Amino acid sequence: MGSGRVPNNSTLVCAPVMADSVDKMLINMDKAKEGGADLVEIRLDSLKSFNPFEDLKILIKACPLPTLFTYRPKWEGGQYDGDEKKRLDALRLAMEFGADYVDVELQVAREFNDSFNGKKPEKSKVIVSSHNYQDTPSMEDLGNLVARIQATGADIVKIATTALEITDVARVFQITVHSQAPVIGIVMGERGFISRILCPKFGGFLTFGTIESGIVSAPGQPTMKDLLQLYNFRQIGPDTKVFGIIGKPVHHSKSPILYNEAFKSVGFNGVYVPLLVDDVANFLKAYSSSDFAGFSCTIPHKEAALKCCDEVDPVAKSIGAVNCIIRRPSDGKLFGYNTDYVGAISAIEHGLRGSHDSSKSCDSPLAGKLFVVIGAGGAGKALAYGAQEKGARVVIANRTYDRARELADIVGGDALSLADLENFHPEDGMILANTTSIGMQPKVEETPVPKHALKSYSLVFDAVYTPKITRLLREAEESGSIIVTGLEMFIGQAYEQYERFTGLPAPKELFRNIMATY
């Protein structure tokens, strides 16, 4: 648990154990206990050979944690493809031998529960589950589904649905928080990820965390390590404030590492999660409670997010993009800010100052310089605006010339198409700033500008920070330019966001130390 504090919630962490032999399962059970799980889900359908009478005794006796037995048939997304009677007999046997929980599918739950004739083993609880691999039903249909599951005599209700959009998860949260019975509400897939992290906030009975990364029993499962250490799962309670990064893609982001570590270090009751969002307006409508207190905003949503805010900071307005949204607790109004340009411009100025005497420190080293911005999206606008404010002459280069022209007109600069940049050399000592995702993982071999064209630049900045040194930066350094990484901008823009999120001063040294290890 690390911090040694009392948990804020009673939501259990369950580690799925899938292996083709009982021996391998026993090894994984020990790993689950070491990793901090509260119970293990033993997936009997993953065993190559299974002798119920002997194997169940061994598994229950040897398990260092409480046990949940699942014997999932193919028709519900599992691997078992045999006789139904044998399958249910094995689950009944597990209960007789002292299993803490068994998981039975809704379709067969009533007959399973009736087969005990009122003599159900005391110790065992029956989880009745329903899996939907297509979508997440409406509120009304979810309510009816929970009622049907309860009517079978379930001790615990489990619904697993699939997220087509992140807004689907809000309905499952609502069902979980309002249900009288204990509920396990999981929304599968990357868009459903927050259902697995935030369930303690809404009173969920348990969540699943994998023993190792990559070995999942359902799409979207986090590792136990991430649950407990990165997301500080034990400390999430009903009054925990939720923050997150709105983007698409978003799972590469280092923001959750940075903010969660900082929250933990000062004991701030918040959690910061990745939010894979397709439509910002829909997202903000679905999560409109004051508990969803603030968001970072990244590609491709910075401009759309601005339109969703009730009030926008004047700087963000002139840039036409926000990367930080705060929900005012008193009335739920949304305020938009742009902390990108401060983060990037100050990192670039610092890079330039480092290279010569800064006795004229009141003047920006950008004054009078030719500043080439690649990209005309939200981050491109922020950099163009910031550079122009510092007295630089701005040139916008973009794949589509018309977008470049549009932005250039706003900031009073010139425009080029990206292809023209290869032979653009009006002077030496220019500054180049890439604000596109060219060169970002996984396409690390891409670069927006060929190496031979980099000789004219005294400094090259890349907003991409995964990987830290992109091909563009590597080739710029080889060409003799000063380089400034996206990590510098990332840390710079995070200071102000952290202060807006928490009302506390940013722990700058901690931020640098956290990011130094990545």
The catalytically annotated residue of 103, 131, 168, 254 is: 131
Q: Is residue 252 part of a domain?
A: no
CATH code, domain carrying 397: 3.40.50.720
Q: Is residue 174 part of a domain?
A: yes
Is the pLDDT reported for residue 147 higher than 80?
Answer: yes
**What's the mean pLDDT when you consider all of the chain?**
94
- Considering the domain architecture, whether residues 368 and 291 belong to the same structural domain is answered as no
Residue 103, H or E segment: strand 101-105
Q: Is residue 3 part of a domain?
A: no
- Considering the domain architecture, whether residues 48 and 191 belong to the same structural domain is answered as yes
What local confidence, expressed as pLDDT, does residue 355 receive? Answer: 58
Query: pLDDT, tens digit, for every residue of 115-129?
Result: 988 888 989 999 999
The pLDDT confidence band at residue 213, using thresholds 50, 70 and 90, is: confident
**Alpha-carbon distances, residue 516 vs 191, 194, 512 (angstroms):** 29, 27, 6
The pLDDT confidence band at residue 1, using thresholds 50, 70 and 90, is: very low
The pLDDT confidence band at residue 354, using thresholds 50, 70 and 90, is: confident
Query: What value does the CA radius of gyration of the chain take, rounded to a whole number of Å?
Result: 27
- Considering the domain architecture, whether residues 71 and 106 belong to the same structural domain is answered as yes
- Considering the domain architecture, whether residues 404 and 449 belong to the same structural domain is answered as yes
The pLDDT confidence band at residue 3, using thresholds 50, 70 and 90, is: very low
Q: Is residue 184 part of a domain?
A: yes
Which residue range forms the structural domain that includes residue 172? Answer: 12-237
Is the pLDDT reported for residue 360 higher than 70?
Answer: no
The catalytically annotated residue of 100, 103, 340, 462 is: 340
The catalytically annotated residue of 241, 302, 381, 390 is: 302
Query: pLDDT, tens digit, for every residue of 411-470?
Result: 889 999 999 999 999 999 999 999 999 999 889 999 999 999 999 999 999 999 889 999
DSSP-derived secondary structure for 440-495: -TT-TT--SS-GGGGGGEEEEEE---SSSS-HHHHHHHHTT-EEE-HHHHHHHHHH
Q: Is residue 249 part of a domain?
A: no
- Considering the domain architecture, whether residues 168 and 268 belong to the same structural domain is answered as no
- Considering the domain architecture, whether residues 96 and 222 belong to the same structural domain is answered as yes
- Considering the domain architecture, whether residues 322 and 381 belong to the same structural domain is answered as no
Query: Structure pTM?
Result: 0.88
Q: Is residue 217 part of a domain?
A: yes
Residue 107 burial class via C-beta count within 10 angstroms: exposed 0-12, middle 13-18, buried 19 and up: middle
The pLDDT confidence band at residue 5, using thresholds 50, 70 and 90, is: low
Residue holding tokens 């009302």? 503
Active site residue 350: no
The pLDDT confidence band at residue 361, using thresholds 50, 70 and 90, is: low
Residue pair 284/326 in contact (Cβ under 8 Å)? The answer is: no
- Considering the domain architecture, whether residues 134 and 185 belong to the same structural domain is answered as yes
Residue 23, H or E segment: helix 22-34
Q: Give the C-alpha separation, 90 to 284, whole Å.
A: 46
- Considering the domain architecture, whether residues 200 and 289 belong to the same structural domain is answered as no
What local confidence, expressed as pLDDT, does residue 2 receive? Answer: 41
Active site residue 131: yes
What local confidence, expressed as pLDDT, does residue 218 receive? Answer: 75
What local confidence, expressed as pLDDT, does residue 58 receive? Answer: 98
- Considering the domain architecture, whether residues 209 and 332 belong to the same structural domain is answered as no
Active site residue 340: yes
The catalytically annotated residue of 45, 55, 103, 158 is: 158
Residue pair 74/133 in contact (Cβ under 8 Å)? The answer is: no
Q: Is residue 358 part of a domain?
A: no
The residue-averaged pLDDT of 94-113 equals: 96
CATH code, domain carrying 275: 3.40.50.10860
Look at the chain and report how many structural domains it folds into: 3
Least confident of 191-195, 214-218, 228-232, 258-262: 214-218
CATH code, domain carrying 88: 3.20.20.70
- Considering the domain architecture, whether residues 119 and 145 belong to the same structural domain is answered as yes
The residue-averaged pLDDT of 289-303 equals: 94
Active site residue 168: no
What local confidence, expressed as pLDDT, does residue 9 receive? Answer: 87
**Alpha-carbon distances, residue 39 vs 29, 30, 103, 181, 374 (angstroms):** 9, 11, 14, 20, 51
Residue holding tokens 């309002």? 178
The percentage of the chain sitting over the pLDDT mark of 90, rounded to a whole number, equals: 86
Q: Is residue 476 part of a domain?
A: yes
Is the pLDDT reported for residue 309 higher than 90?
Answer: yes
Residue 187 is encoded by which pair of tokens? Answer: 């929304």
- Considering the domain architecture, whether residues 324 and 387 belong to the same structural domain is answered as no
DSSP conformation class of 497: H
